[in-house]
Amino acid sequence: MDAVRMCVAAVLLFSGCVVVCQAFLLDATCSGRCNAGLDHSKSCQCNTACTWHHDCCTDYSSLCTGSSGHTGTGSTGSTGGSVTCSSSVNDVSEALWKNDVNRVDASMYTLNLQTKVTDQNTADRASAPLFTRVDEAAINSRPTFRALLALQDNYDPVGGHADILSTQENNEVNHFLDEALKTPVMKTLLDYLKCRNLVPDEAHLRSTLKSLWFTGYPRHGHGQADSSGFEHVMVGEFKSSSVVNGLHNWLAYYTKEKAHEINYYGYVAQAHPNLIATNYDWQGRHKGLGSFFVGTSPEFDMALYTLCALTHTGAVRLDGSTVHVQIYDVTQISGMQIASAYPAF
């Protein structure tokens, strides 16, 4: 509004500035730009990442938060976990959270945080594991959790070792996608991506998920296909003989800790909702800061990161809190491939 008053005053004094002022106002507004990607030609931005980088246009909150990311008419936001074509990315992320019916709630697991450490810590400051208790009956009653567990042994974590999946292992991938696409979380994602003309139907969403997450690639730009987005994020791998790479899924962490492959050193940070950053050793390799959601379903993790990747979003709203999400693309391969995805502290 200040810009409007300044421009009106300028018009009264100098009629020749009308065109300039109009251009300034168009440049400094989110009108028609909600959830648009980063535009270096503009003086301010209109996506959820702008709240992180402190470069939002002054009307970002009024025009984009809880309102339309499109120019069409309709509902001003999602309620009760629903999504319409007028939903913002924040509406969609909240709907994903509300619709995560397979999430394991806090009554079904117990964390033993123990000592708070920095991400530079390399000593064991915790005498016990992170997970004291997990209701495995609850885990095994959920089809997507069972399908995720079946995929944990399909990948060689050592860098440079090719991941050649057998027919059975490829069937397990397809089964995981089948189960994930049945869930309210993935149906919510599909509704929004269809509105954004990013996928036309479920078959294309399935193809997109398979390309983003399961297509193998050489992590270091040459050699054999030794990695994938799924392996990196949802299973974990080794960057070297001394460093862990990826592993941003709580169930993958828990299964390795239960098998005595992970030695928990302490926690680096906690945040709402259900976020933790850990410091640990996995088979002699160290992870200074490994972050993940606790209790969320595998379909939620993949849907949220897919949403952020396809909309180029760096921060979302979950259960009323802003959560920063880091997505990396595989730059040496044409098109979007998940190199890494995790909640950022």
- Catalytically annotated residue among 204, 220, 222, 248: 248
Lowest mean pLDDT among 63-67, 186-190, 202-206, 278-282: 63-67
Output the average pLDDT for the chain.
86
Summarize the confidence of residues 238-256 as an average pLDDT.
97
Residue 38's pLDDT is: 64
Q: What is the pLDDT of residue 158?
A: 94
The distance between the two most distant Cα atoms of the chain, rounded to a whole number of Å, is: 76
Residue 270, pLDDT score: 97
Closest CA to 297 of 91, 79, 94, 99: 99
Residue 73 has pLDDT above 60, yes or no: no
Q: In whole angstroms, give the CA distance from residue 88 to residue 271.
A: 23
3-class state of residue 110 by DSSP = strand
287 among known catalytic residues: yes
If DSSP codes are grouped into helix, strand and coil, which group holds residue 134? strand
Note the pLDDT of residue 54.
59
> Which of 159, 127, 125 is CA-nearest to residue 288?
125
- Categorize the per-residue pLDDT at 75 as very low, low, confident or very high, splitting at 50, 70 and 90: very low
Residue 332's CB: how many other CB atoms inside 10 A? 13
> Quick check: is 248 catalytic?
yes
- Between residues 144 and 334, the one the model is more confident about: 144
DSSP state of 108: G
Q: How far apart are CA 43 and CA 57, in angstroms?
A: 8
Helical H runs in the chain?
2-13, 18-27, 50-53, 60-64, 89-98, 136-140, 143-151, 167-181, 184-195, 202-209, 229-230, 250-258, 298-311
Q: How far apart are CA 226 and CA 223, in angstroms?
A: 8
Q: In sequence order, which residues have a C-beta less than 8 Å from that of residue 107 and are 6 or more positions away?
A: none
What is the mean predicted confidence (pLDDT) over 316-322? 97
* Three-class DSSP category at 155: coil
| Other CB atoms within 10 Å distance of the CB of residue 125 | 14
Burial of 344 (0-12, 13-18, 19+ CB in 10 A): middle
Classify strands 321-329 and 315-318 as parallel, antiparallel or unpaired.
antiparallel
**3-class state of residue 23 by DSSP:** helix
| pLDDT > 70 fraction of the chain, expressed in percent and rounded | 83
| Beta strands at 262-271 and 244-245: parallel, antiparallel or unpaired | unpaired
Residues 45, 19: Cα–Cα separation, whole Å: 22
Catalytic choice (42, 161, 232, 239): 232
Q: What average pLDDT does range 16-28 have in this prediction?
A: 46
Residue 27 confidence (pLDDT) = 67
Query: Is 286 marked active-site?
Result: no
The reported pLDDT for the residue numbered 34 is: 77
